[in-house]
Amino acid sequence: MDLAPSALMGPLLMLLGYVGLGFIAAQRLKIDPRPIATLLVYLIAPLTIFRALMNGGPTAEYLVLTFAMFLLVSGMALAVRWGATQHRFGPQEGALLAFSSGTGNTGYFGLPVALILLPPEGVTLYLFCMLGINLYEFTVGFYLSARGHFSVRQSLAKIARLPLIYAFFLALLLNALNATLPESLMSSLAVFPATYTLLGMMIIGMTLSQVTLAAWDTRFVATCVGLRYLLWPLVMLGAVLVLQQFTPLAPELAMALLLFGVVPMASNVVVVAMELGIQPQKGALAVLTTTLLAPLLIPLYLGLMLRLTGLG
């Protein structure tokens, strides 16, 4: 298994290239990133998840992984919100930190790395775990973010309008009924995953184009790095070690779980912050910082974690 930084340079350079495109587009073409954030939240993300579920043929075992991951990351985010950020940061910064603590760049960055490190069965397991994180982002995570700026009632109303939730359960219903969509329709949906990645990373560059030195918050960025590269590795390592004690854990699933623990911050942090108007510039700087650290830390972390779990 190649864990050298060179193995991760391809995905990293691709993502940074998209960030650069977004920066240039905002600088030269004066593009406003806010409508793009709305497009991602209300159209592109739901259709991307819907297509993934319709193609994946979810089984009961796969869905257990999805909902287990959803519960785990939701618990992490709630613990961070109520135990670590509530009295140490302002409402908006605390909400953004809580949202980011329950997610990571599992799709734009993690999936290309998973394709390098995992066999096909491992990639499938990775995808269904990733769906749990996506579901968190647009339910519990979105609520926590909205509470940094809106009342409880307003926050719940915003969640109720999110189409990703309905797309998720519609796909489950269609699969339960053994319904198949026309091939022409499925082919037309194939453009959305790539669009999701491209626009999701470009919006970071667009936001960075508006950043001033005043937006840099050392304490905020340091906390984001700590949550991403201290809390997450420990939680996922602990999860694998506990599961190994109670059940035969497939090496592919163990590797997928460990990979979730080392990816950088989710670019959806910026997307949701932009949509809700809660410190998107600070979020963009933190996402960029953790992404630049990724090729150095992922080989180090994964190598150590594999040895500790007996997989290395």
**Range of lowest pLDDT (13-17, 102-106, 146-150, 240-244):** 146-150
User: How much of the chain exceeds pLDDT 70, in percent?
Assistant: 94
For residue 92, the one-letter residue type is Q
3-state helix, strand, coil in the chain (%, to 5): 80, 0, 20
DSSP secondary structure string for all residues of 224-273:
HHHIIIIIHHHHHHHHHHHHHHHS---HHHHHHHHHHTTS---THHHHHH
Inform me whether the pLDDT recorded for 5 exceeds 60.
no
The pLDDT value recorded for residue 108 is 72
Q: Say yes or no to pLDDT of 8 above 70.
A: no
Considering only 66-80, 247-261, 283-297, which range has the smallest mean pLDDT?
283-297
Using alpha carbons, select from 120, 74, 137, 151 the residue that is nearest to residue 268: 137
Q: How much is the mean pLDDT over the chain?
A: 85
> Confidence class of residue 85 from pLDDT cuts 50, 70 and 90?
low
Distance between CA atoms of 273 and 275, rounded to whole angstroms? Answer: 6
Q: What are the pLDDT digits (tens) for 34-80?
A: 888 888 888 988 888 888 878 767 788 888 999 999 999 999 999 98
* Dihedral Cα 221, 225, 226, 229, nearest 10 deg: 180
- Mean pLDDT throughout 181-188? 89
Show me where the domains of the chain are located.
5-307
Fold category of 5-307 in CATH? Na+/H+ antiporter like fold (1.20.1530)
Give the mean model confidence (pLDDT) for residues 131-141: 88
Q: What's the pLDDT at 143? A: 86
3-class state of residue 1 by DSSP: coil
pLDDT recorded at residue 244: 92
Q: Among all chains, which residue has been given the structure tokens 């912050």?
A: 273
Q: Is the pLDDT of residue 33 over 80?
A: yes
Over residues 278-296, mean pLDDT: 84
In angstroms, the CA 192 to CA 257 distance is 25
> Half-sphere exposure of 294 toward its Cβ, with a 13 Å CA cutoff?
32
Spatial contact of 39 and 199, defined as CB atoms under 8 Å apart:
yes
pLDDT band, very low/low/confident/very high, at 107 (cuts 50, 70, 90): confident
CA 34/CA 28 separation, integer angstroms: 17
Output the pLDDT for position 272.
80
User: In this predicted structure, what is the pLDDT of residue 2?
Assistant: 52
Question: Is pLDDT at 243 greater than 60 in this prediction?
Answer: yes
How far the first Cα of the chain sits from its last, in Å, is 9
Residue 213 or 171, more confident: 171
1: confidence class by pLDDT, cuts 50, 70, 90: low
- A 10 A CB-CB count for 126 gives 26
Model pLDDT, residue 258: 94
Nearest to 269 by CA among 88, 148, 163: 148
Q: Is 60 exceeded by the pLDDT of residue 287?
A: yes
Q: Tell me the chain's radius of gyration from C-alpha atoms.
A: 19
Does 235 have pLDDT greater than 90?
A: yes
**Segment 135-151 mean pLDDT:** 82
Question: What pTM did the predictor assign?
Answer: 0.82
Mean pLDDT throughout 238-243? 94
